[in-house]
Amino acid sequence: MFKFLAIVAIIPVLALANPTPFRTCPNGAATPTTFSVGDCTALPCTIVRGEPLSAAGLGITSPVSTSTVEAYIEVTLAGLDLEFPIPEDLKDACANGITSCPLVAGQSFDYHYLNDDMNLPLGGITVQIRVGLRDGATEIACIEFDGAIV
């Protein structure tokens, strides 16, 4: 537990020091004011299979009030879904990553993602990665970026 708290305390500092470029999602969902993936400052970000990956989205404004927030990740290559499910223990964003739940419409919040072991099936490819938060069918936040999996 202490390890998680220490990492959560450090991630915002790293995120402000090393912002990662990102694209807005075509669905028009909210985006963070600052986003970071590890120490990536230029696309594509390098993602190493089997190593920890941290990301942070700071300053996201919720479009809805909700106490249920699901995190998701979609990985595509040339338009094909590579079936990368987010680990079950990280899906509940209120329990793992959001700094203040329940969310209130218009409220600003931060989201921190930490995966201790990026168990990715493929390497040596560059993919499009979409990371988002939703409440059922309602998109709360979403960003896209390119990642080189090594």
pTM of the model: 0.84
Using alpha carbons, select from 146, 116, 126, 140 the residue that is nearest to residue 57: 140
DSSP 94: T
> Please, are residues 149 and 123 in contact by the beta-carbon 8 Å criterion?
yes
- Over residues 12-24, mean pLDDT: 72
Domain range holding 137?
2-149
pLDDT band at 123 (very low <50, low <70, confident <90, very high): confident
Number of domain units in the chain: 1
pLDDT of residue 17: 59
> Please, are residues 81 and 74 in contact by the beta-carbon 8 Å criterion?
yes
Q: Is the pLDDT confidence value at 6 over 80?
A: no
93: domain CATH number is 2.60.40.770
Cα–Cα distance measured from residue 104 to residue 30, given in angstroms and rounded to the nearest whole number: 14
pLDDT of residue 18: 77
- Over residues 8-21, mean pLDDT: 59
Lowest mean pLDDT among 11-20, 31-40, 64-73, 130-139: 11-20
pLDDT of residue 107: 94
